[in-house]
Amino acid sequence: MWNKSAFALCLLLVLPCAVDAQSLPKTKGLTWALLATNAATGTVDVGCWNGCNAYNGDTPCTTALPILCIKKDGPGFPLPVPASVDNSDIYHQWAGGVVGTTQPTVPPKTLAAANALCAQEFGAGWRVAEFHDGWGWHFQAFGGVGDPNQNFWVHIDDQPGATCW
């Protein structure tokens, strides 16, 4: 004779459970790196590095890294492409903004909280930089990234499995 606990356990082992993928803990997020600087214009090229994974994330969400923030909307934005910036490569398009990085932080659980960190660090109108702020994979902008040897968190709006928030 089956007791209720044994029967319930048997059902759990035999019948698959429906799981909402959005409710599962995120294990990895997307990071980018500084690819190049142009001292004459004060611009940087940031993007996917060798090892970056825009589909499943590449860095454990428990890792403290800076967040790449951008301002590209509001009065005076988008900023025009500087004459000496090569904007001919679709994968390194001009973003029309200014970037900076926060202090290293374990990524917050929500995009709203990550955007709030950018606004707290740099001011109103700043948000987390997004994979498609250029065309995709990389972009150019005015600004800097703090430690040029350290990767930083970015957002990707069409790959929910590649963000920590």
25 falls in which pLDDT band (50, 70, 90)? low
Predicted structure pTM score: 0.85
Paired with 43 in beta bridges are: 38, 142
Rounded Cα–Cα distance for residues 153 and 66 (Å): 6
- Residue 17, pLDDT > 50, answer no
| Least confident among 18-22, 76-80, 113-117, 130-134 | 18-22
Strands, E assignment, 42-156? 43-47, 59-60, 68-71, 94-101, 127-128, 138-143, 152-153
- Compute, in degrees rounded to 10, the torsion defined by CA atoms 68, 69, 72, 73: 150
Q: In this predicted structure, what is the pLDDT of residue 121? A: 98
- Residue 10, pLDDT > 60, answer no
- Residue 16, pLDDT > 70, answer no
- Residue 12, pLDDT > 60, answer no
- Compute, in degrees rounded to 10, the torsion defined by CA atoms 121, 71, 113, 155: -120
Q: In this predicted structure, what is the pLDDT of residue 157? A: 97
CA 141-96-163 angle, to 5 degrees, is 70
- Residue 24, pLDDT > 60, answer no
Looking at residues 56-76, what average pLDDT do you find?
97
- Residue 108, pLDDT > 90, answer yes
Rounded Cα–Cα distance for residues 72 and 28 (Å): 27
Strands, E assignment, the chain? 28-29, 31-38, 43-47, 59-60, 68-71, 94-101, 127-128, 138-143, 152-153
Looking at residues 145-150, what average pLDDT do you find?
96
